[in-house]
Structure 1
Amino acid sequence: MYDDLIGYAQALRLTLESISALPAESLPVWQLTGRIAAEDLCALVDAPSADVSLKDGYAVRSADVARASAASPVRLRLIGAAQAGSRFSGEVAPGTAVRVLSGACVPYGAEAVVSGEFASDDGAWVTVTADAAPGRNILRRGTDVTRGDLVAPAGTRLRPAQVGLLAAAGHGRVPVVRRPKVAIIATGDEVIAPGKALGTGQLYASNLVTLAAWCAHYGFETAVSVVPDQAAAIERCLTTALDECDAVITSGGAWTGERDLVVHLLDGLPWQKVYHKVKLGPGKAVAFGLARGKPVFCLPGGPPSNQMAFLQLALPGLLKLAGYRRPRLPEVAATLAEPVEGQVDWTQFIGGRLERTPTGDLFHPLQLASRLQSMAQAEALLAIPEGTASIPRGARVRVQLLPGVLSATGLDEPLPAWRRRRPAVVSFVAKSGTGKTTFLEKLLPALKARGLRVGVLKHHAHATPFDIPGKDTYRMAQAGADVVVGACSVQVAVFHQEDGSSDLDAVIARHLAGVDLVLVEGYKRGDYAKIEVHRAACHRDLLCRPEELLALITDEPCPASVPQFGLDDVEAVAGFLCEWVGR
């Protein structure tokens, strides 16, 4: 019966390969939050456009106040003033000062600004009680952004602070990917629209409402319809939807029974059917294709199957249509609180709730009798991938967050201090000779260009020190120093005499807490999210199980239901990691 089903990973790949982002539209900057940049956005101007004062105070020459103190104040002649956005027309000569407000252009000749708390004037003379080295309290031109700098790469989902930076960089309007309008059609003689009187045997179109709510969450406009199981009515509705919308989702009638009309009617439109029936539980009856070049998803009518097929296949397709770089639900690492079982030849998804603990998130599978209650209470989804029969309690897993319920579960609340200090950690693993280090050398500049602070933790299993025997730092450590620091004009090296192999979490918390993302190199055993770099000539099989992987960088497609990138796809991997970190 199921011989014609395709695997979930293949279905997802076919979905994303079949859909391209919609054309761009130009919007004013105040309408950009949450929108997807349609092209690389570079600064058009320097910000600030001139050297400006950071404080209310007095613009001076540093040499004039080098010896100023409360015990020995310096007096300078006051020659003028400048407000925010203006510049004093003259020049600060030796022995003179100009009163400046925060945001005022620094006058010609001035080298520093003495804060008002260390100076005062009587209208003619300024009394200064503290020194001011060159550059003190001055924001240099282009410090915030320099003309030509990349502010937001194409595919960036713009956050409020990024929108403000774009405005500072000179943008008044920005090209963004147009958001899709989605037609949602519920079919069935038993289905009625919410708000109408419910007859015997009838049910409200809760699937329709849930799908529309998901679309609203992402800002997609919807056109909703409830249609009886009548071929002519369904065909009219489909035709109208394809005329007026960018994508179509149907709910119900997706299987092969005599009353399952939707796919049969689409076959007659015609449409380019990409697949029908997937090894996805729940949600196997899902179908996908293109009609007039527009994506059409036919979802099964059972609520769990309907929502799961939407979240795992239709939603990624809609997000791809909307220009998202990573068109998937966000993921986090968690520990499995109870064992779970699936079907070894299917990909099974299980809903659950998250419990926050000092050591990380616990995923508790939901086992409620009510299908709708289980869907409503789920905070995250766990995939049991094809080829895996069970996952034991205590296993580290990746779970998908359900963003539509975050505010109801407390996950939108400010994180406790111990979580705020913890950066995202991803471990890059590979067989020796694959090119992992070379790839990371290329990846780091791409991550930095996107505004991430990145740390690297190099781990090796041998009990040999990183310090060089014979060097002074090595000799001081051997003599008993607990910490040795080497400092020069370009680098600071810190050597702690401790076991850095047994508890990498402690090493990260102590030394890398201030970064956004830590790239771990050479740690295959840990519970961190893993990205494997795979080269077929070096190693035919993967080092990691598919369920352990966050993503795969490979020179050939692999049977793993995770995002896969080529060995040269540095920018794509950087964008993927930015989305994963939440930037």
Structure 2
Amino acid sequence: MQDISLEKAIDMLLAQVDRVREAEEVPLMEALGRQLAEDYIAPFDNPPFDRSPLDGYTFAAQATAGADKDHPARLTIIGEECAGQYFDQSVPVGSAVRIMTGGAIPAGCDCVVRQEEVTVTGDTLCVPYELHHHENYCFAGEDIRKGTLLAKAGTRLTAAHLGAFASMGLAAVKVIRKVRVAIASTGDELLQPGDPLAPGKIYNSNLYSLSGRLRELGFEPEVLGILPDDVDAAAAEIAKWQDKVDLFLTTGGVSVGKKDIMHGVVDKIGKRLFWRVCMKPGGPSIAYTFGKTLGIALSGNPFAAYATFELIARPVLVELSGEQDLAVRHGQAVLTDAFPKASKGRRFIRAYHENGKVRLPQQHASGSLFSVVGCNAFVAIPAGTDPLPAGTKVDIILL
């Protein structure tokens, strides 16, 4: 199928993928931002014991009945407990244990007095006022009760979740595995940055802009580098990733030139879904499947690759991940600059959107990437549109 609408292309792509639901266990320290694969229930109370909220002394409150500054209650100090220790004796009425913040309150005690508010002589504690049952007292489960739902399946873990899970002793959690994406460029004309620039060669920008964009969206692509302009060699390399990744992206080799190899690659390893989308830039894009893996071959022109990634590949990533907040947003705005070209076909141009207005860069060529810097939107221009004067209300896609 070829020469299809953008909407038809997206529908065909989405029909080939399902949301990733496979689970994997990861260390809790590495789980930030990951989606839980199952519900998590608190296995015990937190704190797991009644504890002191302050540094002081703990005892039975009834021992201070009637106490005042002129007639303080006198208790015998029989021990000391810091946080992390455990006083395993029952404390009789009239006795006290020195306790530090976070210490487990011993049996027989039901209150805590601040150490700044008492006097101590030898092993005698003088308390100058009455205390009441459970005064200055933290109960077991005060933070989390056993059986509490900590987080539902599908929850994206925040730093606060990690802290709560750690307080439950969880060293690892089951999360949805990450969407697997591989990316490569084609073209014998390409060099990697750092190599000497040779006559007729250009540096490979697509691999950096698109892999960077994937990371901005929260994905961790497998970056493969440059594939040669050889059908057999490129097909063999791409075929290695069949069923190992969910999405395989390439740039270049999609038009009708002598070195546009992706047509032959697709014929060798998979099944073509479509070629050519009725849009500019990036119309010659190819979509295909090989095994369970979806492949999208984008134009090699830098802006065309950037735009078709956003418009064609990004919806696939949203479907695979279930992350609807990654989807592009549509709206309307007013042009502050004129667009002087008539649009015979459907066109998307780069723009900067702010406060309901869009500003256009001077450069709109498909091969220009620098003019994308600072842009955060596309202006969507329908087919058959005349030049657009400043002040025109236009449809926009927010990236």
Residue equivalent to 2:370: 373
Residue equivalent to 1:25: 24
Residue equivalent to 2:324: 326
Alpha-carbon spacing, 1:131–1:305, altered in 2? closer, same or farther (3 Å): farther
Alpha-carbon spacing, 1:398–1:285, altered in 2? closer, same or farther (3 Å): closer
Residue equivalent to 1:159: 158
Residue equivalent to 1:521: none
TM-score w.r.t. the length of structure 2 is 0.78
What per-residue deviation string (whole Å, max 9, x for no partner) do you get for residues 42-101 of structure 1?
223322111222222222444555776667754433232222133322334444432211
Confirm whether residue 254 of structure 1 aligns to residue 254 of structure 2: yes
Give the superposition deviation at 1:294. Answer: 1.3
Q: Distance in 1 between matches of 2:69 and 2:334?
A: 64
Query: Is the CA contact (8 Å cut-off) linking 1:156 and 1:325 kept in structure 2?
Result: no
Q: Distance in 2 between matches of 1:132 and 1:345?
A: 83
Give RMSD over aligned pairs: 4.1
Q: Distance in 2 between matches of 1:381 and 1:66?
A: 73
Query: Is the CA contact (8 Å cut-off) linking 2:333 and 2:356 kept in structure 1?
Result: yes
Residue equivalent to 2:232: 232
In the TM superposition, 1:339-350 aligns within 5 A as: 348=348, 350=350
Query: Is the CA contact (8 Å cut-off) linking 1:320 and 1:327 kept in structure 2?
Result: no
Residue equivalent to 1:59: 58
3-state secondary structure, aligned to 2:210:
helix
Give the superposition deviation at 1:169. Answer: 2.0
Q: Distance in 1 between matches of 2:310 and 2:71?
A: 71
Query: Is the CA contact (8 Å cut-off) linking 2:13 and 2:287 kept in structure 1?
Result: no
User: Which residue identity does 2:4 align to in structure 1?
Assistant: D
In the TM superposition, 1:73-472 aligns within 5 A as: 73-129=72-128, 134-217=133-216, 218=218, 220-242=220-242, 245-255=245-255, 259-271=259-271, 273=273, 275-278=274-277, 282-318=281-317, 320-321=319-320, 323-326=321-324, 328=326, 348=348, 350-352=350-352, 365-369=359-363, 371-378=368-375, 380-381=376-377, 399-400=398-399
What per-residue deviation string (whole Å, max 9, x for no partner) do you get for residues 379-414 of structure 1?
x33675989x9997999x9944xxxxxxxxxxxxxx
Q: Distance in 1 between matches of 2:248 and 2:306?
A: 15
Give the superposition deviation at 1:279. Answer: 5.7
Query: Is the CA contact (8 Å cut-off) linking 1:119 and 1:126 kept in structure 2?
Result: yes
Residue equivalent to 1:47: 46
Alpha-carbon spacing, 1:224–1:3, altered in 2? closer, same or farther (3 Å): closer
TM-score w.r.t. the length of structure 1 is 0.56
3-state secondary structure, aligned to 2:102:
coil
Query: Is the CA contact (8 Å cut-off) linking 2:272 and 2:286 kept in structure 1?
Result: no
The higher radius of gyration belongs to 2
Query: Is the CA contact (8 Å cut-off) linking 1:155 and 1:325 kept in structure 2?
Result: no
User: Which residue identity does 1:226 align to in structure 2?
Assistant: I
Residue equivalent to 1:4: 4
Query: Is the CA contact (8 Å cut-off) linking 1:16 and 1:317 kept in structure 2?
Result: no
Give the superposition deviation at 1:18. Answer: 1.5
Identity %: 26
User: Which residue identity does 1:311 align to in structure 2?
Assistant: E
Unmatched 5+ residue regions in structure 2? none
3-state secondary structure, aligned to 1:211:
helix
User: Which residue identity does 1:233 align to in structure 2?
Assistant: A
Give the superposition deviation at 1:120. Answer: 4.3
Q: Distance in 2 between matches of 1:151 and 1:69?
A: 45
Alpha-carbon spacing, 1:138–1:5, altered in 2? closer, same or farther (3 Å): same
Unmatched 5+ residue regions in structure 1? 355-360, 401-583
Q: Distance in 2 between matches of 1:52 and 1:280?
A: 67
Give the superposition deviation at 1:161. Answer: 2.7
Q: Distance in 2 between matches of 1:205 and 1:329?
A: 27
Query: Is the CA contact (8 Å cut-off) linking 1:272 and 1:289 kept in structure 2?
Result: yes
Q: Distance in 2 between matches of 1:258 and 1:35?
A: 44
User: Which residue identity does 1:188 align to in structure 2?
Assistant: G
Give the superposition deviation at 1:21. Answer: 0.9
Query: Is the CA contact (8 Å cut-off) linking 2:81 and 2:99 kept in structure 1?
Result: yes
Q: Distance in 2 between matches of 1:291 and 1:221?
A: 18
3-state secondary structure, aligned to 2:106:
coil
Give the superposition deviation at 1:240. Answer: 2.6
Q: Distance in 2 between matches of 1:216 and 1:175?
A: 22
Alpha-carbon spacing, 1:22–1:255, altered in 2? closer, same or farther (3 Å): farther
What per-residue deviation string (whole Å, max 9, x for no partner) do you get for residues 518-573 of structure 1?
xxxxxxxxxxxxxxxxxxxxxxxxxxxxxxxxxxxxxxxxxxxxxxxxxxxxxxxx
Q: Distance in 2 between matches of 1:330 and 1:88?
A: 60
User: Which residue identity does 1:265 align to in structure 2?
Assistant: V
User: Which residue identity does 1:229 align to in structure 2?
Assistant: D
User: Which residue identity does 1:213 align to in structure 2?
Assistant: G
Which is bigger in relative contact order (C-alpha 8 A, separation at least 6)?
A: 2
User: Which residue identity does 1:235 align to in structure 2?
Assistant: A
Q: Distance in 2 between matches of 1:77 and 1:330?
A: 70
